[in-house]
Amino acid sequence: MKKMLSNPALWRGVVSIAVFLILWEIGARSKQWMAPEFFAPFRELLGAIGLKKDYLPWIGAVPAPSVVLASWIAVLVDRSYWQSWYMSLFRVMAGFLAAMLIGIPFGLMLAVSRVTHGIGFPVFEVLRPIPPLAWVPASIIFWPTQETAIAFITFLGAFYTIVINVLGGARSIDVRYFQAARSMGSSRWDIFRRVILPGTLPSIVVGSAVGMGITWEVVVAAEMISGGGSQIGGTRGGGLGFFIWNSYVGGSYEQIVIGMISIGIAGFASSELLRWGGRHATPWLKAR
């Protein structure tokens, strides 16, 4: 703990966030401090370049962090807020786990077998450029429930990234490792288990971390578009994306910010978790 407190990187992080919050607070309160006569020329200048006259552009229209914090405390006891967390988290995890379970073996198969690559890769490459969000309408039609439709879209978000990373990682394993393994009498299965799999692991970790980020982007957008599987104003929340959208429709700007920051925290936490898991799975990488 003492070591952590004396870590300069930690203090830089604290200072960075504090400065950000202070500037935000000042900017958000610009409507008040720009009111006096002293700022009249400045206000005229803003108006002359086509901006709103009475506050700083962009930041002045955002609720101040103090206001956001106050309404966050109120929201914390609201079950529908936690329900939104739970729903988004559940969808992300479902889509992400499915993408790992299908993507890693698929990527490895593409890398290992020429036949699989020949058959599977062209289709994969045609489908890959289609953004996951373009799948929303089709997915709502294909899947029986809205829930499965959203999970499918989050799955797509992570799937392509994971497959491409696994394929690239397995392909870039130095040929000498295979030659050495074969010379020492390894069977094909042994080479797969003890050379290809560990050799691809770093790429699996990277692909998963990137895929996790995309999953959060996609789930929020999917929830906004699809209505999140719940009716507006209902007691059952429809995920953080829906929470933001609902706050916007309801005109609660503080809650929009709360929703955004919640996603930031959720995304950061899940990436950290993955990185932590990744470090433990690939101990030879940090050991330099």
Select the residue interacting with another protein from 180, 249, 261, 269 (CB under 8 A): 180
Select the residue interacting with another protein from 79, 188, 194, 279 (CB under 8 A): 194
- Interface with another protein in residues 199-228 (CB under 8 A): 199, 201
Span interacting with another protein, options 80-88, 111-119, 177-185, 243-251, rule CB under 8 A? 177-185
Select the residue interacting with another protein from 185, 233, 251, 280 (CB under 8 A): 185
Tokens at 253, concatenated:
């700007």
**Do residues 118 and 174 make contact, with C-beta atoms less than 8 angstroms apart?**
no
Span interacting with another protein, options 63-71, 85-93, 186-194, 242-250, rule CB under 8 A? 186-194
d(CA 242, CA 247): 8
Give CA angle at 52 (48, 58), nearest 5°: 120
Least separation in angstroms between residue 172's CB and another protein is: 13
Least separation in angstroms between residue 90's CB and another protein is: 34
Q: What's the chain's length in residues?
A: 288
Select the residue interacting with another protein from 183, 233, 251, 280 (CB under 8 A): 183
**Residue 280 contacts another protein per CB under 8 A:** no
Nearest to 241 by CA among 85, 25, 9: 85
**Do residues 108 and 204 make contact, with C-beta atoms less than 8 angstroms apart?**
no
Give CA angle at 58 (56, 62), nearest 5°: 95
Tokens at 187, concatenated:
């069977």
**Residue 177 contacts another protein per CB under 8 A:** yes
| Burial of 93 (C-beta count, 10 Å sphere; 0-12/13-18/19+) | middle
**Residue 187 contacts another protein per CB under 8 A:** yes
Q: Which residues bind another protein (CB under 8 A)?
A: 174, 176-177, 179-187, 190, 194-195, 198-199, 201, 282-285, 287-288
